[in-house]
Amino acid sequence: MEDNAGSMAEVPDLIPARMLSEFVYCPRLCYIEWIDGEFVDNEDTVDGRFQHRRVDSEAEKIQEDEFETFHARSVSLDGSKVGVTCRIDLLEGEGKRVTPVEYKRGRAPDIPEGAYEPDRVQLCAQGLVLKENGFQCDQGIVYFVRSKKRVLVAFDKALQQRTRDLISNLRKTALKREMPPPLQDSPKCNRCSLAGICLPDEVNLLQEIEANGGVEKSGEKGLLGKIRKLLPARDDALPVYVVGHGNMVRKKGDLLEIWSAVKDGALGEKDGAKEERGGKGKDGRVLEVRLREISQVNLYGGVEITTPALADLMQRGVPVMHFTRGGWFQGISSGHTHKNVELRMKQFEWAMDRKKSLSIARCLVYGKIKNCRTQVRRNDPESPAKVLEKLDKLSGDAKKASNIEKLLGIEGAAAEIYFGRLDGLLKGDQGFTFQNRNRRPPLDPVNAVLSYLYGVLAKEMFVTLLAVGFDPYLGFYHQPRYGRPALALDMMEEFRPLIADSTAITLFNNRELSERDFIKTGIGISLMPKAKKRVIEGYERRMETEITHPLFGYTVSYRRVLEVQARLLSRVLSCEIKEYPAFLRR
């Protein structure tokens, strides 16, 4: 199969024949994969590559001076006049008369044509390229691996014209730089590996709500209650945390090993739980994790990583995050950046427009204040009604703020009210109190934990935004500043009370932290190494908690919610939906 061209400043001269097949199947799928350069494997795509293994492993080249019968595998050809480039699975022929063969992993469909239109168009495009290169080609074959059946496809005038029209339409779509609309309740979405990127049902619902004046329709014609769970509730790959000076990360085969240089060195953490195999070995190895099960590696406080381990992680697209002992994010080691140049161009365009930036910032602050109100309402039974009323009013004021400066003032007023009630969320018998929010450095244990968690959450949002294709340093609410991940700070606002604050309150109320977990320095309070691990464990438990999405209705983890919100922001920048839908817990 042809390689993706990826996202480019200009449309390539030649369209991959496989992308033409995707365009026939779903124009939006083709755009995401070819123009935006996004792709995710699932069971079907992996199996498809497996079925092609014999074809791709026996590649041969056509010798133009050989006219006897031949079978050439994995043949790459360009057709500049047709406007298509292709890689033919198998080419059968005698002399100049040839027949391309396309392998498909599934079963032959029971339809009059013998093969679906995307397969027939892809095969016909290969035939047109072969003709341009001097071969005689008037038919092709689709071989269905599961059925072990060869289906003959004749390149008649109608199919050739249809193929040429589709080539022209695909080029126009690419030049227009507008993502085609999602399919409506199509069964094609059910097994699509890009459904979690495309978000067809979610986008359709939001567009319906906007068209209906912000009201969710629940009748037969409405989409509410019909949102399919097209994306996994949680990711199978999970973060690894290595905390403590003297630890080292190494690679051994398909394993990532954590080694400790001291007797009681800090252990690596995965999903908040220690994954020791037989405990700490005599050689100092304390943890082994399969590389394919890792989504990110977080190194806190002087942890070393070997070059082979770093190179392998970068090749796999696994980011390595570097932090100080206190939890300050220092930087990231990653492989190639995301190919979606179009999204970053739109991000810069919106960031330069004060009106557009404000429209996003308002929604972010609105969501944060609403979630702060929910946190107080749920966990502080003694909170006066006027506190909830004030927060409710401030959230409404945020949606109407005329400029960023006023929005900052509204957020500050809401934060003062919210943190003024945070002590009421803490159980009175757990030994810790909260007076007010302070930082740099934090002056009490609760603030120390909050600051540490905010740093971890900012890291999480940073990684998520990179994976979606954004530049995490260019925000819409937080202003650009050297080294400041402004967009990550923007996007974490609505999740501060839901993830970071909630984790801190749970840790204290469950007595998972004690006075011995904190150390008083000359200027403030710091967490002890083992306490940092417990904080991370609590954070990971929260991130993997599965909740019912308040708008879409399916079950999803908080970590997956962050990705969904980032992708919805990208749909706002592409003008597919008008307003960023803040995530609001009920």
- pLDDT at position 421 over 50: yes
Query: Does a structural domain hold residue 578?
Result: no
Counting beta carbons within 10 angstroms of the beta carbon of residue 420, is it exposed (0 to 12), middle (13 to 18) or buried (19 or more)?
middle
- pLDDT at position 269 over 60: no
Q: Quick one: tokens of 210? A: 């906007």
- pLDDT at position 328 over 80: no
Domain identity same for 359 and 302: no
Last residue of some domain: 155, 176, 197?
176
Domain count of the chain? 4
Last residue of some domain: 164, 199, 231?
231
Distance in angstroms (rounded) separating the CA atoms of residues 491 and 368: 10
Domain identity same for 365 and 218: no
The pairing of strands 255-260 and 525-527 is unpaired
- pLDDT band at residue 354, thresholds of 50, 70 and 90? very high
- Name the residue among 94, 2, 16, 9 with its Cα closest to residue 56: 2
Digit-coded pLDDT (tens) for 515-529: 998 888 778 888 888
Domain identity same for 438 and 501: yes
Lowest mean pLDDT among 186-190, 215-219, 526-530: 215-219
Distance in angstroms (rounded) separating the CA atoms of residues 352 and 337: 22
- pLDDT at position 122 over 50: yes
Digit-coded pLDDT (tens) for 137-156: 999 999 998 888 999 999 99
Lowest mean pLDDT among 205-209, 339-343, 455-459, 476-480: 339-343
- Name the residue among 398, 393, 422 with its Cα closest to residue 408: 398
- Phi and psi torsions of 209, nearest 5°: -65, -45
The CATH number of whichever domain residue 120 belongs to comes to 3.90.320.10
Q: Quick one: tokens of 572? A: 């706002």
Domain identity same for 423 and 505: yes
Query: Does a structural domain hold residue 200?
Result: yes
What is the average pLDDT across 170-183?
A: 90
| pLDDT given for residue 411 in this prediction | 95
| pLDDT given for residue 562 in this prediction | 94
Query: Does a structural domain hold residue 10?
Result: no
Query: Does a structural domain hold residue 222?
Result: yes
Query: Does a structural domain hold residue 1?
Result: no
Query: Does a structural domain hold residue 4?
Result: no
Digit-coded pLDDT (tens) for 79-115: 999 999 999 988 988 888 999 999 988 889 999 999 9
The CATH number of whichever domain residue 262 belongs to comes to 3.100.10.20
Q: What Cα–Cα distance (Å) separates residue 159 from each residue in 126, 143, 155, 166? A: 12, 19, 6, 10
Which range of residues forms the domain containing residue 224? 181-231
Q: Quick one: tokens of 148? A: 């072990």
What is the average pLDDT across 363-377?
A: 95
Distance in angstroms (rounded) separating the CA atoms of residues 224 and 237: 31
Q: Are 83 and 132 in contact, with CB atoms under 8 Å apart?
A: no
What is the average pLDDT across 410-417?
A: 95
Domain identity same for 406 and 554: yes
Domain identity same for 257 and 396: no
Query: Does a structural domain hold residue 581?
Result: no
Domain identity same for 327 and 345: no
- pLDDT at position 277 over 90: no
- pLDDT at position 61 over 70: no
Domain identity same for 513 and 413: yes
What is the average pLDDT across 453-460?
A: 92
pTM of the model: 0.83
Distance in angstroms (rounded) separating the CA atoms of residues 30 and 169: 12
Residue 13 neighbours by CB distance under 10 Å: 10
Phi-psi domain of 279 (left: phi exceeds 0; alpha: psi -120 through 50; beta: other): left
The CATH number of whichever domain residue 363 belongs to comes to 1.20.120.920
Q: 46 vs 88, which has greater pLDDT?
A: 88
Phi-psi domain of 253 (left: phi exceeds 0; alpha: psi -120 through 50; beta: other): left
Last residue of some domain: 289, 315, 333?
333
Query: Does a structural domain hold residue 3?
Result: no
